[in-house]
A and B are shown apart, each in its own frame.
Chain A
C-alpha cells in the first residue's frame, strides 16, 4: 500500500518541494521516517500516530516506512506532520485524493488532530508556486501570510478530521484572496522628532540619512540624545513598497516573527541588538543557517548603540555585508545567501568616560585609554559610514524651552520628495536610493564640475581620504541635491557632504 503527498522544505530563504512517500507493508511492525530527518521530524511519529487515532481514523499496526524525498537534504521542524498523516491515510484508503489535485501540504499536528501553524510558509510557497503546484493546504493561522502568494489556491485547514472529510467529499473551501487593502503608509508615529529639543545639526544629518539611505555614526557625550534621535528615525522613513514588504516578510516568516493577523510585515524593521551579540547572531548562521540581525534589518535600520562596546570581531564581520547588501553563509551543509540591505546607524561616546571633547566636563581618561577605545572602530569600518556627526550636550535653555522642534511629519515630507526623485532616476536599475549606487554608476548619476573637483581634491589631500570616502561623499552630495530638488550637484552640497566626513580627523587623529 502506497501513498504520496507533496510538502515543502527550506534552504536559506528559498523553498523546494519535498515528496512525502509512505509505504505500508507486512513484516515487523514499526514506524520509521527516513530522508535525513532531525529530532523534531522523527518525533512526528508519535504526533501522527496519536492525531490519526484521536481523529477517529484507523492507524495500521504493520510496517510503515515514510520517505522524505529528496533523501539527501536535511529536514527539520514539525512542518511535515500533516503531510505524513495525509500520506498514511491515503495509503490505507481513508483519504481519497483525485488525480488532478496535488496540493502542497504544510502543518504541525497536535495529539488531538488539531492543525498548528508553522514557520516559513511565505518563502516556501513563493518558491514552489507555479504551474505544477497550483494549490496548497495551510494551517488556518498561516492563511493571511499565504494569501500573498499569487497564482496559488490556498485551502485553510484547522483539524485533520475536517480536512480529510472535506477532501473525501470534494467540499474543500478556498480562502478568499486578501480583501483588505494594504496600507503601508499608515504608520503611527509613536516617537516624534518634535520631542527632541535642539540638536538641529543631528536632525539635519538624520534627514539626509533617511533621504538617501545612508549609514550614519553619531559621536557624543552621554545624555546628549543619540539614542533618542536614532529611535525617531523610523518616523521619517518612506513607507514600504509591496515588493520590499514581501522580501522582509520572507525573512521574518522563517524566524517565526509574523503576526498572524497581518500576515505581512508593514513597518520598516528597526533592529537594535544589544552589544553582547555574537557574530553568528548578527550575520546569521548555525548548522542549518538562519537569518541574523542584519537580515532581519533588511530594508530597514540596524541600530548599534554604544558601538565600541561590541566585540571587535563582531563589528568587522559587518564590513562585507554593508557593501554588498547580501550575506553569503557557508556551512558544511551548503551555502546560502540572504539579503541584508540595511541602513546602519551607530552611536558611541568619544571615550570610556564619555566626556572627551565636552566643554562642560573634565574627561577622566588617559590618552591611551581613549586611543584603545576609539581603536575598536577600525578605519575600514569607519569609512563605511557616509555621515559622521557630533551630537553635543544640549544646554539648559534649549531643554527647558517650551518650543517644540520640527515634527516628524514635516521632515518626512522632504524625505519622501527626495526619495521620489531617486526612484524615478533609478527606475531602470534595481536600486531605490543613492546609498545603493554601485561605483560604475556613480560617475553617471553624480556628475560634478571642474571647480567642484578642485574642492574635493583639496579636501581629499587635507583629510587624507580613501577612495571609498570619495565615492561616499559623491553619493551624499547627490542626496543633498535631491533634498533641494536640484538637478545638478552644487558647490554647497559637496561642501556639506565633506563636512560630514571630518570627524575622523577630530577623534581618530593619530
Chain B
C-alpha cells in the first residue's frame, strides 16, 4: 500500500464515519490557490473543514501532531477562498482534525472538533 492509497483509504473511512453521524458532504479534496481541504461537510448550520491524518504507527508521534501551523494557515485561507467563491458572508465554520489509526487490528478514528481557530493569526504570517 503506498502513501496515496493509505490517504484515500483513511479519507473514505472518516467520511463514512461522519456521514453516519448525520453530517452531509459538501466537497471532497477541494482545491484552492492556497492548498487543499480533504473534506468539507455541513453539520447542521455549521460548515466543518476536516483534515484527515493517518498513521500506521505512533513512532513519529500522534497523527494530530502532524497538523502544523502552516497546514492550519492553508486551511484557514482555503476556507476564506471557499466562502468568497460561494458569495457567503454570514456563515458558521469550524476546523476539525480526524486522526486515523491504521495500527494492527481494525482501523479506528479519533475525531477532534474545533481543533484550531484564527486566534493569534498574526503569528502565522
Contact = CB atoms under 8 A, between A and B. Distances in A.
B119 interface: yes
A62 B118 CA distance: 10
Interface string B111-125: 000100111110000
Nearest to B80: A28
A58 to B, nearest CB: 12
Contacts of B117: 28-31, 61
A271 interface: no
B120 A45 contact: yes
Contacts of B120: 42, 45
A26 B90 contact: yes
A26 B94 CA distance: 10
Nearest to B95: A29
B79 interface: yes
A274 to B, nearest CB: 40
A27 interface: yes
A26 B83 CA distance: 13
Nearest to B116: A29
Chain B interface size range: 10 to 19
A254 to B, nearest CB: 29
B79 A28 contact: yes
B91 A26 contact: yes
B121 A30 contact: yes
A379 B6 CA distance: 85
A30 B114 CA distance: 10
A323 interface: no
B67 interface: no
Contacts of A26: 90-92
A32 interface: yes
Interface in A121-144: none
B64 to A, nearest CB: 17
B39 interface: no
Interface in B67-110: 76, 79-80, 90-95
Contacts of B92: 26, 62
Contacts of A29: 93-95, 114, 117-118
Nearest to B90: A26
A45 B121 CA distance: 13
Contacts of B114: 29, 61
Interface in A51-110: 61-63
A198 B87 CA distance: 92
A45 B92 CA distance: 21
A45 B91 contact: no
Contacts of B119: 30-32, 45
A28 B76 contact: yes
A30 B117 CA distance: 5
A197 B80 CA distance: 83
B51 to A, nearest CB: 15
A61 to B, nearest CB: 5
A45 B123 CA distance: 14
Contacts of A61: 94, 114, 117
A381 B46 CA distance: 73
A62 B93 CA distance: 7
A27 to B, nearest CB: 7
Nearest to A62: B92
Interface in B10-67: none
Contacts of A28: 76, 79-80, 93, 117-118
Contacts of B90: 26-27
Interface string A34-58: 0000000010010000000000000
Contact of B91 (A27, A30, A42): A27
A495 B95 CA distance: 86
A295 B24 CA distance: 66
A22 to B, nearest CB: 14
Interface of A: 26-32, 42, 45, 61-63
29 contacts: A26-B91, A26-B92, A27-B90, A27-B91, A27-B93, A28-B76, A28-B79, A28-B80, A28-B93, A28-B117, A29-B94, A29-B95, A29-B114, A29-B117, A29-B118, A30-B117, A30-B121, A31-B117, A31-B118, A31-B119, A32-B118, A32-B119, A42-B120, A45-B119, A45-B120, A61-B114, A61-B117, A62-B92, A63-B118
Pairs of residues from A and B, 10 with the lowest C-beta to C-beta distance, nearest first: A30-B118, A29-B117, A31-B119, A61-B114, A30-B117, A28-B118, A30-B119, A26-B92, A26-B90, A45-B119
Given A27-B91, A28-B76, 20 more contacts: A26-B91, A27-B90, A27-B93, A29-B93, A29-B94, A29-B117, A30-B117, A30-B118, A30-B119, A30-B121, A31-B117, A31-B118, A32-B118, A32-B119, A32-B121, A42-B120, A45-B120, A61-B94, A61-B114, A63-B118
